[in-house]
A and B are shown apart, each in its own frame.
Chain A
Amino acid sequence: MDFLNAITLLLNYIFVPALAYGSQLALGAIFVTLIYGILRFANFATGDMMSFGTMFTILFTWYFQSIGIGLGVLPTALLAIPFAVIFMIGYMLLIDKFVFKYYRVSKSPPVQLAMVSIGVMFVTQAVVRIIIGPSDRRFFDGEKFLIRAGEFKDMTGLNEGLAIKSTQVITILVTVILVSTLFWFLNKTKTGKSMRAYSDNEDLALLSGIDPKKIVMITWIIAGILATIGGALYGLDKSFKPFTYFNNMLPIFAAAIVGGIGNPFGAFLGGYVIAFSEILLTYAYKKFFMYVLPESMEPDGLVQLLSTDYKFAVSFSILVIVLLYRPSGIFKGKVL
């Protein structure tokens, strides 16, 4: 019984949250990695682009709520996401046309493009704050829990409850659907294959008649979809605050690099690697040991390896270890 309790505890506080958080990071990391692989620069506006997409999701959610359209038990935001995606793609293509295209055509070094992306970051952040303000916003509605802790206790007779939030389930489901579609697209369709070819070797791809304009446009479209959905899922699960989104850029980058930058599958797994290590290392294991160990050996402290304030340190340590021992990432990306 104690053992089952311990397992439930870990499931409730580590596994389920980490799976949801990891999915959100994974979407962001694929976004970073696609931009890096095809457009060849580190996009420092990642976090703010995600918050931009989320902002549209929130605006549409409010609109739908005000005219009384809803999805019942599901959050209205799910209905709003497709509309937000359209706006986001428009924004992405607009930025590309007016900002990034010039540097791409003149073949600027990647560092310069990264600097330009900082300019985009400033502008995007300003637009988000001007439109929706810098404060914390929750836009979740519908049924909050799939399984409540209390119900679970009654059902199983365990001491520990397992609460599964509906947002966590939605996050994981949407991520699975989105990512498998994306991999199908990249691996099976002609456009996807030409995207990968372009990422592997630009000159060779151009020689074989691949249209770079189309590749770039499709990359931005996919990036827009990923950024909006990733951001909206994060916002649904936690809350929307522009500054948090900006900071999320760091674990996202760590995930992309850990997985091997330029490699979408690596980025996908990298998201989970970062999320699980962050939560595993900052969780206080006191209660877990209380169940597992005999009473005489119960720990006094919290048995917390790292305080939650240092979650950036986790991403960073993983990043450094990976870069020192496998500079191309866990799954071979571009060697940098």
Chain B
Amino acid sequence: MRKNLNVIAAYSIMMGLIILVGIFQSWNIALSIFNLCLISAVMTMGANIQWGYAGLINFGIMGYTALGGLAAVLISVNPVQEAWSAGGLNILFSLFFIIGMVLAVRYVLKKYEKSKTRTYIIAAIIILGIIIIRFVSEPGIEAIEEVDPAKTGFLGGFGLPIIFSWIVGALFAGGLAFVIGKVALGLRADYLAIATLLISEIVIAIIKHEDWLTRGVKNVIGLKRPAPYEVNLQQTDWFINLVEKFNSSKLNLISDFAERQAALNQFVIEGSSIFVKLCYSGLFLVVVIILLILTQKALYSPWGRMMRAIRDNEEAANAMGKNVVKQHLLIFVLGSAIVGIAGAMLVTQDGLFTPGSYRPMRYTFLIWVMVIVGGSGNNFGAILGGFVVWFLWIESAPIGLYLVNLTTAGLHDTHFLKVHLIESVPYFRFLMMGAGLLLIMRYRPKGILPEKIEIK
């Protein structure tokens, strides 16, 4: 108990802060911060597996998040029949061609020794394949994008409950990570970082511009929900009774019936959105707890020890007969898959998929700040990092505004400096994150909750 005291203390302070937001701002804000904290926690767990356990730099987190979001769209949206009949065949054919191309390249790679001719053959296959695929897919894509572009203009999905997308998102992200890992994992740390950063940009470019698949920048809105809708809740009897019971002390103070009814209505409207958020919190909490148990088990298993050995001394681990390349690939896929889950959760919560909103600062580097601030290699630390950093990210605007008002109190309200500073309050969050990261890296390089390895 005693040795976990700092963990408990840190989490209590964090919860206390969120509750303070609930009391002083509103419970709605507090809960939405809490939900995004949970999603961030899932992301940091993914990044922590790669960086903390194995020492792999993955700056492609944004790409996996977006793939998870894409999975949410592809799973939950109803299929667009017209689009399928218009161009579905072409798309399927090109899919087969892509698979055929990959198999052909694999066959050549396996069958022949490394030589110049082999390189040329592979290049020829790829170029020929791309030309054929373009010829096959282009008419299909055009036909699909012409099907009612204001509403659909894409193939749609499978019309399944969106919760399945959390698994599919993991599969998507894991699959991409497998391909990337095969190509890039042999590289040194900095190269891997740059390669993954570039790949995530390419993933975003594809999602933004392949309208037949994702609607691109036209966004997909109104995704299905795993939680009830507010409007429906506000009309169900049991929910109204629940709200009535919950607020009975306040309601009893009002004697007039009409006024009481109006107050109750207000409470029901507020309560419904809080209730929906609580539903999400419950779902997310389940995911976080399951992942936490799994990652903790993995960390203290022989496999976890092996990963740490590889991280701390690759050559020695290699000499002891551990297959470093294979283990790196495995952990790269696992970590990315977890990030994919988080991406699907994020879209599920928002109920919309906006490819334009994926920016590397928010989805890659912020997650890295979370891992490093929280404590890499320690799952509790990484989760805490997700909470702390997300909390600051949201609350830095009010804090920044307060600070600006405080420091410029002597100036007149229309003074150009004050106006300018108040306008740029949103950017103070970058400053806070950067300064926080630099301070933590300098004075507490292992994070708030450092990695602790106990031999059990």
Interface residues of A (CB under 8 A from B): 41-42, 44, 99, 102, 110-112, 114-116, 118-127, 129-130, 133-134, 243, 246-247, 250, 253-254, 257, 301, 307, 309-310, 312-313, 315-316, 319-320, 323-325, 336
Contacts and interface: CB of A to CB of B under 8 A. Distances in A.
B191 A133 contact: no
Nearest to B197: A250
Contact of B438 (A110, A123, A307): A123
Given A129-B427, A130-B427, A309-B205, A123 B434 contact: yes
B183 A310 contact: no
16 contacts: A42-B190, A99-B438, A116-B438, A118-B365, A119-B434, A120-B434, A122-B437, A123-B438, A126-B430, A126-B434, A129-B427, A133-B423, A246-B361, A250-B194, A307-B209, A320-B184
Interface of B: 55, 57, 119, 138, 183-184, 187-191, 193-195, 197-199, 201-202, 205-206, 208-209, 359-361, 365, 368-369, 372, 421, 423-424, 427-431, 433-435, 437-438, 441-442, 445
A111 B190 CA distance: 7
Contacts of A41: 190
A315 B202 CA distance: 10
Nearest to B440: A119
B438 A130 contact: no
Contacts of B55: 111
B421 A316 contact: no
Contact of A312 (B205, B428, B430): B205
Contact of B434 (A121, A246, A254): A121
A120 B194 CA distance: 17
Contact of A125 (B187, B191, B430, B442): B430
B57 A111 contact: yes
The B contact surface, by secondary structure, is helix
Contacts of B429: 126
A313 B206 CA distance: 10
A214 B431 CA distance: 30
Contacts of B208: 309
Contacts of B421: 130
Contacts of A246: 360-361
Contacts of B361: 122, 125, 246
B205 A313 contact: yes
A44 B369 CA distance: 14
Contacts of A325: 119
A119 B431 contact: no
4 shortest interchain CB distances as A-B pairs? A122-B434, A123-B434, A126-B430, A126-B431
A165 B225 CA distance: 54
Contacts of B427: 125-126, 129-130, 134
B216 to A, nearest CB: 10
B425 to A, nearest CB: 9
A121 B195 contact: no
B172 to A, nearest CB: 19
B399 to A, nearest CB: 14
B202 A310 contact: yes
Contact of A123 (B187, B195, B197, B430): B430
A115, A134, A247, A336: residue with the most chain B Cβ atoms closer than 10 Å: A115
Given A99-B442, A312-B202, A320-B183, 17 more contacts: A42-B193, A110-B189, A114-B57, A114-B190, A118-B437, A119-B438, A125-B361, A126-B429, A126-B431, A130-B428, A133-B424, A243-B359, A257-B191, A307-B209, A309-B209, A316-B201, A320-B184
Nearest to B433: A122
Contacts of A99: 438, 442
Contacts of A114: 57, 189-190, 193
Nearest to A40: B190
A313 B434 contact: no
